[in-house]
């Protein structure tokens, strides 16, 4: 998908409002049967008493449909979802336009032009290319008027939304409570009692083993096996043998390098203040060495707002003046104040990533594999008719011509694709193709004629089913050794469980885990500190969850794959926010974004109540049917 298509809705503000308006669309209801007030039969909806022409929704729908069709023809349910999304987008534009008109927001031609000129897909050697602009729009089904209208709408929205949501910030008490919850770590003393370390029980009698064999038939039942001859015609099998010339690599690189071009990004911490003097004081404090946490607190006390943008593209920075300054600034240096259209900015760039296309060397393995696969797909397409002709002539699989690029195997396997010794059957092709072959074999009948079947990943296969061995409990004499091993393991597992339970009871009635373990010949190990949010280290996830429900000194017990573990909560560590300012800053950023989304949602709810949307369901259905 082209970069400009992504960037069109790439800002976090646009993403929030696209989702919100989709929800509003559902709430407002495509099934609304309110009578249309104006606009005649072409008004698919009304918002704020004004008609929404069906042509606008059709244009947005067609653009989204073109993208969806790259992965195949969508069914009606998918087309309906695309139409709903298109209508939500158009309603968003109209709702925002009404609000922007009400508050007097405009989009200067110069701002729209700068925005469009900065899109990499429209550039040649870093300069806007009018011919490429027209070509890209045509390829993606957009007229210039439509695209300019969308960009104008974005410029206006970027002025309105930040001013509404920028003041939202979480209370420090909320940040501290969440910090305390996720940063707390717990450490346990653990004793592991392996099943295999238990003494072997007395040798069971033959009668005991036979009784165990009868009581556990599933453990000693062989699965159904099928014996088949298989031939596979697969691009994945042939691809690694295809030669790739430098000329082909260069040609493919030339075609895709522009599409792989990525925009420059910046991660930046920003203070916004209405007062130049306040901005200057905060800049001085920051330049004197204050960290971001201290700056955020100082900004809040001074009535300024703060925000942190991660890996933002140029068009995702809400102010043109701030955008220009950020992309010209030296990373790590505090810059400002900078006068902008929505305030005075002071900022620090914390990360800068250059844009551009990846090198040929970095893409060579991927490009080579792509060319090899394409060559192999072409070869498979040439072979298909010949293989079908041979099978139609009743040629046995083991007598097919050797020039058809077929891979052939013969053997016995179960429904999981494993051989009689439990190893995967060596069927050629990728995992999906092998799974399709196994599924087809277990749906076939002995004596069915071989047919060439189209499988996943562009592959084909044919097979003949030679025999079927139904599932059956294996004779006792044949599996006696396995029965004895299973009986012994069960006896040792029971012994390990009893010892673990005794140890658990003793600890929870006041005895020392160290002394008990030493007396029984087990060692006590200290777990790594566990938190609620990190992956468990050295213990199961279930044990970690239990650990956070225990009191200091309290023990718990859990069965593992190899035995039983008795764990005692030995230590609770609760860091303070001052000890981990990085985590505090991350929490503040996440909570700020969440609150800003909530503010945006409330704002949109207000637009919904004010503008009163109605939709003509019959006319809307014509878009996707």
For residues 242 and 380, give the distance between their C-alpha atoms in angstroms, rounded to a whole number.
Answer: 12
pLDDT mean across residues, the chain: 86
Residue 187 backbone phi and psi in degrees, to 5: -125, 140
**pLDDT tens-digit readout, 212-232:** 999 999 999 999 999 999 999
Mutual angle of helices 144-165 and 76-103, in 10-degree steps: 60
**pLDDT tens-digit readout, 534-582:** 888 888 888 989 999 999 999 999 999 899 999 999 999 999 999 999 8
74, with CB counted inside 10 A (0-12, 13-18, 19+), is middle
pTM flag (> 0.85) = no
Residue that has been written with the tokens 């084909």 in this structure: 460
**pLDDT tens-digit readout, 506-524:** 999 999 999 999 888 899 9
What is the mean pLDDT of the segment spanning 182-191? 95
Residues 6+ apart with CB under 8 A from 80: 624
What is the distance in angstroms between the CA of the first residue and the CA of the last residue of the chain? 25
Angle at the Cα of 245 from the Cα atoms of 244 and 246, rounded to 5 degrees: 125
125, with CB counted inside 10 A (0-12, 13-18, 19+), is exposed
State the pLDDT at residue 1: 28
What is the mean pLDDT of the segment spanning 461-485? 94
DSSP string, 183-204: H-EEEEEEEEEESTTSPPPPPP
Share of the chain above pLDDT 90, in %: 50
What is the mean pLDDT of the segment spanning 306-322? 88
For residues 87 and 74, give the distance between their C-alpha atoms in angstroms, rounded to a whole number.
Answer: 18
Structure tokens at 145: 């008027």
Would the pLDDT of 449 be above 50?
Answer: yes
Would the pLDDT of 314 be above 50?
Answer: yes
Would the pLDDT of 36 be above 60?
Answer: no
Share of the chain above pLDDT 70, in %: 93
Residue that has been written with the tokens 């071009």 in this structure: 261
For residues 220 and 480, give the distance between their C-alpha atoms in angstroms, rounded to a whole number.
Answer: 10
For residues 53 and 43, give the distance between their C-alpha atoms in angstroms, rounded to a whole number.
Answer: 5
What is the mean pLDDT of the segment spanning 58-74? 81
Helix (H, G, I), strand (E, B) or coil at 598: helix
For residues 508 and 269, give the distance between their C-alpha atoms in angstroms, rounded to a whole number.
Answer: 51
DSSP string, 556-587: EEEE-SSEEEEEEEEEEE---GGG-HHHHHHH
What is the mean pLDDT of the segment spanning 381-396? 90
Residue that has been written with the tokens 């469009």 in this structure: 116
State the pLDDT at residue 325: 94
All domains in the chain, ordered by first residue: 3-168+597-624 (1.10.4030.10), 185-220+476-573 (no CATH), 224-239+374-470 (3.10.50), 262-353 (3.10.50.40)
Helices and strands, counts by H and E, the chain: 21, 20
State the pLDDT at residue 497: 96
């Amino acid at each position: 998908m082209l970069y400009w298509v992504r960037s069109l809705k790439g800002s976090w503000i646009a993403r929030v409002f696209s989702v919100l308006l989709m929800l509003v669309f559902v709430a407002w209801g495509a099934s609304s049967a309110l009578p249309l007030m104006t606009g005649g039969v072409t008004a698919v909806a009304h918002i704020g008493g004004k008609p929404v022409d069906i042509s606008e929704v059709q244009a947005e729908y067609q653009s989204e449909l073109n993208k969806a069709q790259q992965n195949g023809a969508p069914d009606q349910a998918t087309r309906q979802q695309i139409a709903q999304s298109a209508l939500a987008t158009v309603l968003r534009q109209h709702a925002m336009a009404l609000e922007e008109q009400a508050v007097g927001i405009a989009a200067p031609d110069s701002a729209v032009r700068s925005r469009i000129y900065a899109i990499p897909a429209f550039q040649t050697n870093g300069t806007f290319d009018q011919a490429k602009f027209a070509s890209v729009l045509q390829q993606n089904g957009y007229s210039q008027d439509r695209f300019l209208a969308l960009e104008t709408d974005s410029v206006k929205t970027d002025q309105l939304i930040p001013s509404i949501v920028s003041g939202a910030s979480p209370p420090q008490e909320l940040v501290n409570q969440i910090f305390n919850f996720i940063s707390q770590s717990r450490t346990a003393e653990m004793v592991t009692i392996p099943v295999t370390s238990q003494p072997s029980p007395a040798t069971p009698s033959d009668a005991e083993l036979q009784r165990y064999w009868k009581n556990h038939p599933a453990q000693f039942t062989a699965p159904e096996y099928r014996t088949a001859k298989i031939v596979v015609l697969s691009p994945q099998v042939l691809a690694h043998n295809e030669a790739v010339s430098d000329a082909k690599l260069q040609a493919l690189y030339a075609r895709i390098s522009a599409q792989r071009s990525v925009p420059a990004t910046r991660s930046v911490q920003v203070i916004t203040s209405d007062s130049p003097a306040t901005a200057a004081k905060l800049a001085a404090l920051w330049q004197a060495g204050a960290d971001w946490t201290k700056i955020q607190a100082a900004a809040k006390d001074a009535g300024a707002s703060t925000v942190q943008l991660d890996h933002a593209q140029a068009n995702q920075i809400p102010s043109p003046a701030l955008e220009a300054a950020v992309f010209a600034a030296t990373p790590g240096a505090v810059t400002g104040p900078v006068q902008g259209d929505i305030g005075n900015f002071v900022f620090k760039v914390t990360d800068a990533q250059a844009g551009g296309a990846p090198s040929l060397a970095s893409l060579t393995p991927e490009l080579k594999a792509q060319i090899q696969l394409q060559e192999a797909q072409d070869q498979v397409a040439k072979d298909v008719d010949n293989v079908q002709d041979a099978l139609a002539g009743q040629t046995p699989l083991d007598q097919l011509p050797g020039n058809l690029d077929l891979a052939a195997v013969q053997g016995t396997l179960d429904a999981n694709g494993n051989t009689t010794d439990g190893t995967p059957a060596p069927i050629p092709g990728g995992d999906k193709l092998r799974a399709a072959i196994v599924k087809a074999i277990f749906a076939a009948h002995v004596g069915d004629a071989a047919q060439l079947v189209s499988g996943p990943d562009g592959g084909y296969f044919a097979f003949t089913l030679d025999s079927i061995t139904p599932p059956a409990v294996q004779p006792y004499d044949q599996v006696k050794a396995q029965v004895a091993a299973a009986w012994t393991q069960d006896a040792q597992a029971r012994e390990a469980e009893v010892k673990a339970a005794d140890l658990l009871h003793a600890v929870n009635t006041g005895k020392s885990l160290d002394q008990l373990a030493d007396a029984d010949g087990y060692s006590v190990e200290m777990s790594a500190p566990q938190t609620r949010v990190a992956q468990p280290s050295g213990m199961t996830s279930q044990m970690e969850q239990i650990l956070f429900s225990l009191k200091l000194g309290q023990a718990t017990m859990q069965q593992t794959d190899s035995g039983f573990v008795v764990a005692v909560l030995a230590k609770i560590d609760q860091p303070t926010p001052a000890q981990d300012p990085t985590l505090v800053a991350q929490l503040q950023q996440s909570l700020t974004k969440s609150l800003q989304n909530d503010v945006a949602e409330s704002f949109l709810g207000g637009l919904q109540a004010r503008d009163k949307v109605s939709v003509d369901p019959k006319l809307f259905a014509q878009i996707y049917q």
